[in-house]
Amino acid sequence: MGMLKAIAAICIFIAAPAAAATKLQFLVPSAATGDANRLFHELARNFQQGAPSIEIEVVSLSNYDEVVGRVMAEAAAKRSAGLFVAELSTTLELQEAGAIQPLDQALGSRLASFHAALLPSFLGNSGGQRFLSAPLFRSMPVAYYNVEAMAAAGVSTEALPTTWAEFESLLETLTAKTGRPSFALGGDWYDWLFEAMAATTGTGLRSDAAGIGLGSPGAVEALAFLQRLHKKGLLARSPAWKGTINAFSLGAFPVVFYSSGGAGLVEKNAKFPWTVTFIPRHSTRSVPVGGGNLFMSAHMAEAERAAALRFIEYLYTPAAQASLSEQTGYFPVTQSAFNEPSMVRRYGESGPYRRLHANLPNATAKLMTANNLKIRGVVKAAVDRCLDQGMAPQDSLAIAQRDASQLLGR
C-alpha cells in the first residue's frame, strides 16, 4: 500500500502543470526615430532565456505620444500598463496623473547602486528631487551634412559651421547651387530643435524664477534666426519627424537638424558620404538631450513588479545597453556600456560618432513641466506663427509665454 501511495504521488507530481510564467507588458515606441521594433523583441528574447519564469510581451506603438496615451488610459481605469518607454520630458506629467510608480520607491535598497551606474549628464529629466524614471537611451539635437552635396557646391567639410553666421552662409551657397531650400527643419519635434538653438544663447527657454521663459532674449534671437532663414528661402519645413531623416538619407536635403539617434538609420540607408556634428551655436555649448526614459506603471501586482525589476536589471547591463546603442545610434546611458568592444570601436574611432561623443559634456536637461504635452504645443504654435504667418518673434513668444503661464496656473 505504501508503494502504491508513493507511485500515486510521483504520478501527481509529473502530471501537475508547470507554474504559469509571470507576464510583463513592455510598451515601446518602435519608430520614434529609427525602426527599433526588432531590437526590443530581441532584448526581450535574450532576457527570457535566463528568466523562463517571466514572459515579456512587447507591445510596439508607433511613437511616444501613443505610448503615453495608452498608459494614461490604463491609469485612469486603475490598470497596470506594465513597463514602458516614454519621451523623457513627460516624467512630471506622468507622475501628476498618477500613472507611474516612482523608481526610487520600487528599487528600494538597490537604488543607490543603480543610480550610481548612470551617466550624471543624462539624469536631468528623471524627476528632480525624486527618481521617478531612468534614462534608457539618449540623443541630442545635431546637424547632419551631405558631404557629396557640399563638395559639389565647392564647400569644404574640413571646417563645418560652428556659428549661426557661418551656418547661414553655408546654406546660401548650397541653395544657390540647387535653386531650392538646402536645410530641412524636422517635423513633430521642432519645438525641441528650437529649444536647442535657444539654449546656445545662454538664456534659452528657462530664464525666469519659475523655470520657464518662452519670451527670453535668447528665445527671441533663435526664433528670429529661423524666421530669417525661412524668408530667404534657405529653410524648408518637414511635415514629419522620421520623414526628415529619411529625406536626408535619400539626398533630398543636404542639411538637416535632427536627433543624434537618427545616425544609425543614415548609416544604413545613405548612399553618399555624410557627417554629423553639433548644431551651430550662438554663444554657449548647452545642449538639451532627448530620448526615452524607462517607467514602471502604477497599479502593478506584486509578481508583475518583481518581474519588472528583473527586466530592468537586464536592460542596464553593459551588453544590453551596447546592443541598444549599436542598432539605433542612440547613446548608452551607463559608463560601463561605453567600455564594451562595440562601443569602443564606434566612439573611439574618428568620424561622425566620435564627433557626437565629444559633445556629451554639454548635455543638459530638456524643458519639462507637469503639463508637458500642452506646453510643447504652445512652443510649436509660437514657431508656426513666425514661420507660416510671418508674425514677429517677440510677439509670438509673448503669446506663448502668456499661454504657458495660464496652463501652469501662474
Place 31 in a pLDDT band, splitting at 50, 70 and 90.
low
Place 209 in a pLDDT band, splitting at 50, 70 and 90.
very low
Report pLDDT digits (tens) over 373-398: 999 999 999 999 999 999 999 999 99
Q: What is the mean pLDDT of residues 314-327?
A: 94
Q: What is the mean pLDDT of residues 165-187?
A: 95
Answer yes or no: is pLDDT of 16 > 60.
no
Which whole-number Å values give the CA distances from 216 to 55, 119, 173, in the listed order?
A: 49, 30, 31
Q: What is the mean pLDDT of residues 42-51?
A: 95
Q: Which residue has the higher pLDDT, 5 or 357?
A: 357
- pTM (2 decimals)? 0.89
Report pLDDT digits (tens) over 250-268: 999 999 999 998 988 899 9
Report pLDDT digits (tens) over 267-284: 999 999 999 999 999 998
Answer yes or no: is pLDDT of 42 > 60.
yes
Q: What is the mean pLDDT of residues 44-73?
A: 95
Place 7 in a pLDDT band, splitting at 50, 70 and 90.
very low
Q: Report the distance separating Cα 278 and Cα 293, nearest Å.
A: 23
Report pLDDT digits (tens) over 230-249: 999 999 999 999 899 999 99
Query: How confident is the model at residue 178, as a pLDDT?
Result: 92
Q: What is the mean pLDDT of residues 92-98?
A: 95
Report pLDDT digits (tens) over 278-318: 999 999 888 899 999 999 999 999 999 999 999 999 999 99
Looking at 7-11, 127-131, 279-283, which range is the least confident one?
Answer: 7-11
Query: How confident is the model at residue 15, as a pLDDT?
Result: 46
Q: Which of 119, 38, 77, 84 is nearest to 339 (CA)?
A: 119
Quick one: what percent of the chain has pLDDT higher than 70?
A: 93
Query: How confident is the model at residue 210, as a pLDDT?
Result: 52
SS (H, E, C) the chain: CHHHHHHHHHHHHHHCCCCCCEEEEEEEECCCCCCCHHHHHHHHHHHHHHCCCEEEEEEEECCHHHHHHHHHHHHHCCCCCCEEEEEHHHHHHHHHCCCEECHHHHHHHHHHHHHHCECHHHCCCCCCCCCCCEEEEEECEEEEEEHHHHHHCCCCCCCCCCEHHHHHHHHHHHHHHHCCCCEEECCCCHHHHHHHHHHCCCCCCCCCCCCCCCCCHHHHHHHHHHHHHHHCCCEEECCCHHHHHHHHHCCCCCEEEEEHHHHHHHHHHCCCCEEEEECCECCCCCEECEEEEEEEECCCCHHHHHHHHHHHHHHCCHHHHHHHHHHHCCECCEHHHHHCHHHHHHHHCCCHHHHHHHCHHHEECCCCCCCHHHHHHHHHHHHHHHHHHCCCHHHHHHHHHHHHHHHCCC
